[in-house]
Amino acid sequence: MRVLLTGAHGMVGKNILDCNLSKEYQWLTPSRDELNLLNYNDVFRYIQQHNPDLVIHAAGKVGGISSHNEHQFEYFSENLRMGENVVLGSKNNSVKKLINISSGSIYPDLDNKILCESDLLTAPVNSLTEGYSLAKIAILKLCTYISNEYKDYQYTTVVPSNIFGKWDNFGSDAHMLPSIIKRLDSAKRNKLKNVEIWGDGSAKREFLFAQDFSKFIFDIVKSLDSCQVINLGYGSDFTVLEYNQIIADVVGYKGKFSFNLDKPVGNKRKLLDLKQMKSLNIWRSHSIKEGIKKTYDFYLKYDRRGR
């Protein structure tokens, strides 16, 4: 099977390729210089020339919560254009199978409710990431409409919980877990007695180790005709304080935590319903602590000293 993987050089894409245990896949992995996803004509011609059997759309503009809030236009515009170009470029070249990788941020702010696929558009999304979320919702709907109206097309959207792992972004615009790993590793090395947590530490989050997510993607490839939208995750979450404590144990940080109540924290809770996923017999391989340990080992080897 010939597979076009957009975003192959990003964190999610690299983990998907790293998890490819089967020789049945022939990968097309263009870089940004080789394929401009913001240009429809470029995307259409690339797909026409290489004729993939399956497209996995993993590319996207992503960042931390502050960046999302401050640059709503960029997150909306770029993710919308990339997604539309990839989906329509595939459809207009008669590519019948596509996996669109979305985000749990597409779901509304429904605190303390486990979110199932039917909760989409039942209430507003979080305002801090609204631009990104609306773009992802639009592409999800585009895939759904194509699958509904063209019966031989199987365009499935997967909605993972927050992904972390090898090749993550540990910079100033990092997501929560890599940011905590970097901060606590630095605090340990600099012998800091206190580390600040945004908010009161009570907000709960679900995270998914990228290696497990990649395995799930290969399972989904075998079941594209079973679902149009499917949540992927572990079905369990921890508070922000608990993640800090788990990472402190992995890193070896012995100090204390303080709380900055003036910082944004987003939803109080966002946990995904996994009934569909479990019906396909898709199961995890790592505990959250095991995933964090492997991510920290990667950070020590590659990121701390600079890649």
Chain segment 213-250, per-residue pLDDT in tens: 999 999 998 888 878 999 999 999 999 999 999 999 99
Chain segment 117-173, per-residue pLDDT in tens: 999 999 999 999 999 999 999 999 999 999 999 989 999 999 999 999 999 999 887
Distance in angstroms (rounded) separating the CA atoms of residues 202 and 190: 27
List all residues 6 or more positions away from 301 whose beta carbon is below 8 Å from its beta carbon. Answer: none
Q: In the chain, pLDDT over 90 holds for what percent of residues?
A: 81
Residues belonging to the active site: 132
Distance in angstroms (rounded) separating the CA atoms of residues 66 and 265: 10
What are the residue boundaries of the structural domains of the chain, listed by start?
A: 2-165+207-236+270-286
Find the angle CA(135)-CA(99)-CA(40) to the nearest 5 degrees: 55
pLDDT higher than threshold 50 for residue 307: no
Token digits of residue 173: 């615009």
Q: Is 114 left (phi over 0), alpha (psi -120 to 50) or beta?
A: beta
What's the topology of domain 2-165+207-236+270-286?
Rossmann fold (3.40.50)
What pLDDT, on a 0 to 100 scale, did the predictor assign at position 281?
A: 84
The mean of the pLDDT values for the chain is: 93
Name the residue among 159, 162, 161, 188 with its Cα closest to residue 299: 188
Chain segment 99-122, per-residue pLDDT in tens: 999 999 999 988 778 999 999 999
